[in-house]
Chains A and B, each alone.
Chain A
Amino acid sequence: MIEVARLTKRYGRKLAVDDVGFTVRPGRVTGFLGPNGAGKSTTLRLLLGLDHPDGGTALIGGRRYRDLRHPLRTVGALLDGAGPVPERRGVDHLAWIAQSNRIPRRRVREVLDLVGLTGAAGQRVKGYSLGMGQRLGIAAALLGDPEVLVLDEPVNGLDPDGIRWVRDLLREYAASGRTVLLSSHLMAETAGTADDAIVIAGGRIVAHGSLDDISAGHESLESAFFALTGDRRGLGGRGGRGGRGEW
């Protein structure tokens, strides 16, 4: 369970996240939607203890991320701009992560197999394609077999087979009673994967509920999204992809 309440973050005079609150329930995939610069990445950084909020709380299983006893066994995260040193081999990147949280070495081979990178495990990351890098990031998130998954644009760069695999993985994860928060700007992908959605625009939550509730009265999730975010797009602060208000 993820519980965010009255979360606020300023960068200088810019209010990046403004009184944000939502709950992500276990057993469901929750999409976290918003235009670039809406506050998605900032919210995720605050949730994962990578930044300090100016106000409010972000709890995972009732605790702040920084207070988790086993962070990587509790939360698996894939974040934009959080990756390996390019000169390191993929397997070594996963090895140090596993060591840091007392995750057995055999788990490295398991997740490499899981994401289809066994054959490229010994390659240096700088030789990976965008999709392979994304798979390595997903492998790192899965290392601790965590209770909670927080994934920021996990299908970026993946081929159709990889996209379907991610979708199935997230569905399976949620079906086993675990919590999945999926940040994305791909409406069709989110509509095909998520049970619930949180829509953020201009640093504020503009909708939160089941996909059916959010889409009610609109042709699709996409049209609902445009209707909800139309006059707030790009008003937020330091978005992960530059906050340019672009799609």
Chain B
Amino acid sequence: MTAAPTGVPDTGGIRLTDLVRAELTKIRTLPATWIVLALTLAADTLLALPAATDVVRIAGSGGRTAAITQFGTVLLAPVYAFVAVPVFAAGGEYRGGQVRVSLLAAPDRNRFFLAKLLAVLGILTVAAILVVLPGHLTRRALGGADVAEATGGLSAEVTAYLLLGLVAYGFAMLVRTVVTPLAVLVVLPVLVSPLLRGLSPEVTRLLPHEATLSFLGMPEGPHLALDRPVGLSVVVAWAVTFVGAAWAVTLRRDG
């Protein structure tokens, strides 16, 4: 501690892009982001091997075995590591009181939320392509899917990752923690959905996980299936609802 402060030149007003860059830096400089992306990439790529070759089969009902491609939940499992990226981006604001620093830097809550949302969208899009692409290439190389089929599958899976990521992001902003959204999003398909589907398949198929599986064309049984466009619409509705609620609550609660 030696010198007095020096002047800082005025380089013009603060733009939305400045806030987005700051949010991107926040996400990029969290070690958890890279750990989670590495886990997702590894899981997605490893699952592509049995999916393409059918060398691993899973025990089903009646002692029969089925190809892993019949189990959409297993193939979609890596997304629940992936959604930790937006969860840490949002919930991390409330660790160490960073949100107060953020709001001092960006006092306009609308701009703060919008910048964060845009940064998360950008990261999720790029990251989803990077973690999903190797698995698709593996499936195409080993499974012989044609280019159109592979491309369509890739864009659908990236869209699914993006939308579930937005659901998780909105959820984390609402509850201001990283644990609850991750726990709930994992418990829903693993515990709640299997219990609920026998009682009310009409409701179960509207849950984010099941609607995503329908959108990807791999529903967990015909009674849970929605048309693919309907599945997409349902997941979009979940994402819009969670992000919209988080935005409204941020304006009210942190305002």
Contact = CB atoms under 8 A, between A and B. Distances in A.
Interface string B1-14: 11111111111111
A70 B100 contact: no
Contacts of A125: 96
Interface residues of A, number: 54
A62 B97 CA distance: 28
A69 B13 contact: yes
A142 B8 CA distance: 10
B29 A104 contact: no
A5 interface: no
A161 B1 contact: yes
Nearest to A150: B104
A189 interface: no
Contacts of B100: 50, 79, 81-82
B123 interface: no
Contacts of B1: 114-116, 135, 161-162, 165
Interface of B: 1-15, 18-19, 21-23, 25-26, 29-32, 92, 95-98, 100-108, 255
Contact of B105 (A52, A72, A142, A173): A72
Nearest to A111: B5
B12 A102 contact: yes
Nearest to B11: A102
Interface stretch (A22-30, A92-100, A194-202): A92-100
A145 B6 contact: yes
A10 B19 CA distance: 32
Contacts of B25: 92, 95-96, 99
A64 B106 CA distance: 13
B18 A83 contact: no
Best-buried of A87, A161, A162 by chain B (most CB within 10 Å): A87
- The 10 closest A-B CB pairs, nearest first, are A82-B100, A100-B22, A92-B29, A165-B1, A96-B25, A100-B105, A99-B22, A66-B107, A145-B8, A81-B97
Given A102-B11, A110-B6, A95 B18 contact: no
Contacts of A50: 100, 103-104
Contacts of A87: 30-32
A77 B10 contact: no
A49 B32 CA distance: 31
Given A52-B255, A100-B22, A161-B1, A82 B6 contact: no
B108 A66 contact: yes
B14 A70 contact: yes
Nearest to A80: B97
A77 B107 CA distance: 13
A14 interface: no
A89 B103 CA distance: 20
A99 B18 contact: yes
Given A71-B104, A86-B96, 9 more contacts: A50-B103, A69-B13, A72-B105, A82-B98, A97-B101, A101-B14, A114-B1, A144-B8, A161-B1
B108 A48 contact: no
A83 B96 contact: yes
Interface in A153-210: 161-162, 165, 169, 172-173
A103 interface: yes
Given A81-B100, A95-B25, A100 B18 contact: yes
